Amino acid sequence: MSDATPHSRPFPTLLLVALLALLGVSLCGLGLAGLIGPDEPRYASIGREMATSGDWVTPRLWGVPWFEKPALLYWLIGAATRLGLHDEFAARLPVALCGALFAAFFWWTLKRLDRQAEAPLAAVLLAASAGWMAVGNVAATDMPLAASYNAAVLAALLWLQTAQRRWAVAAGALLGISLLAKGLVGAVLFLPLLWFARKRVSGLALLFLACGAVALPWYIAVTARNGMEFIRVFFLQHQLGRFTRPDLQHVQPFWFYVPVLLGLLFPWTPLLAQLRRSTFKAQPERVFAAVAVFGFVFFSASTNKLPGYLLPLLPAVCALLAHAVTRAVAPGRTLASCGLLLALSPLAAAVLPEALRSGLRHVSWLGLPWAHGALAIPAAAGAYLLARRRQTAPSVALLAVLSSAGWLYVKIAALPVVDRTASARPLWNRVMSRREDICVESLNRALRYGLNYYSLTPLPDCDAVSKPFHIRQQAHQEVQVVPAAPTGPEPDQHRINTPAVGRRLMIGCRG
Per-position b or e across 441-480, b if 16+ CB within 10 A of its CB: bbbbebbbbbbbbbbeeebeebeeeebebbbbbeeeeebb
436 and 409, same structural domain?
A: no
The alpha carbon dihedral of 256, 257, 258, 262 has a sign of: positive
The per-residue pLDDT for 390 is: 84
Q: Does residue 429 sit in the same domain as residue 416?
A: no
**DSSP assignment of 296-319, as one string?**
HHHHHHSSB--GGGGGGGHHHHHH
Q: Are residues 295 and 441 in the same domain?
A: no
Question: 271 vs 157, 293, 336, 342, CA distance in Å?
Answer: 24, 17, 10, 14
Q: Could you give the CA distance from residue 505 to residue 427 in angstroms, rounded to a whole number?
A: 11
Strands 469-472 and 478-483: antiparallel
Residue 132 lies in a domain: yes
pLDDT score at 345: 86
Distance of CA 136 to the CA centre of its chain: 5
Q: What is the pLDDT of residue 508?
A: 41
pTM above 0.95, yes or no: no
Range list of β-strands (E), 126-180: none
Task: pLDDT tens for the chain, 511 residues: list them.
Answer: 444 444 445 567 899 999 999 999 999 999 999 999 999 999 999 999 999 999 999 999 999 999 999 999 999 999 999 999 999 999 999 999 999 999 999 999 999 999 998 999 999 999 999 999 999 999 999 999 999 999 999 999 999 999 999 999 999 999 999 999 999 999 999 999 999 999 999 999 999 999 999 999 999 999 999 999 999 999 999 888 877 777 667 788 899 999 999 999 999 999 999 998 888 888 899 999 999 999 999 999 998 899 999 999 999 999 999 999 998 887 999 999 999 999 888 888 877 777 777 666 666 666 666 666 677 889 899 999 998 888 899 999 999 999 999 999 999 999 999 999 899 999 999 999 999 999 999 999 999 999 999 999 999 999 999 899 999 998 767 899 999 877 555 444 333 233 333 333 334 444 4
pLDDT of residue 485: 78
- Long-range Cβ contact pairs of 355-360 (< 8 A, separation 24 or more): 356/36, 356/37, 356/418, 356/421, 356/422, 357/421, 357/422, 357/476, 357/510, 357/511, 358/476, 358/510, 358/511
Q: Of the candidates 29, 30, 19, 35, which has an alpha carbon nearest to the alpha carbon of residue 451?
A: 35
Residue 208 burial by CB count (10 A; 0-12/13-18/19+): exposed, middle or buried? middle
CB atoms within 10 A of CB 369: 11
> Is position 1 within any domain?
no
**Short-list 445, 436, 491, 429, CA closest to 469:** 436
CB contact at 8 A, 176 and 215: yes
pLDDT (0 to 100) of residue 372: 65
pLDDT at 221: 98
Are 193 and 231 members of one domain?
A: yes
Give the Cα separation of 456 and 52 in Å (integer).
Answer: 12
Strands 64-65 and 438-440: unpaired
> Are residues 484 and 350 part of one domain?
no
Query: Considering the domain boundaries, does residue 460 fall inside one?
Result: yes
Boundaries of domain holding 346: 6-357+375-421
CA dihedral (81, 85, 86, 91) positive or negative:
negative
Give yes or no: residues 274 and 413 share one domain. Answer: yes
Whether residue 470 sits in one domain with residue 329: no
Examine the domain organization and report whether 350 and 444 are in the same domain: no
Give the integer Cα–Cα distance in Å for 425 and 249. Answer: 26
Last residue of a domain, one of 400, 421, 442: 421
Between strands 438-440 and 469-472, the pairing is parallel
> End of a domain among 406, 421, 436?
421
**Backbone Cα Rg of the chain:** 25
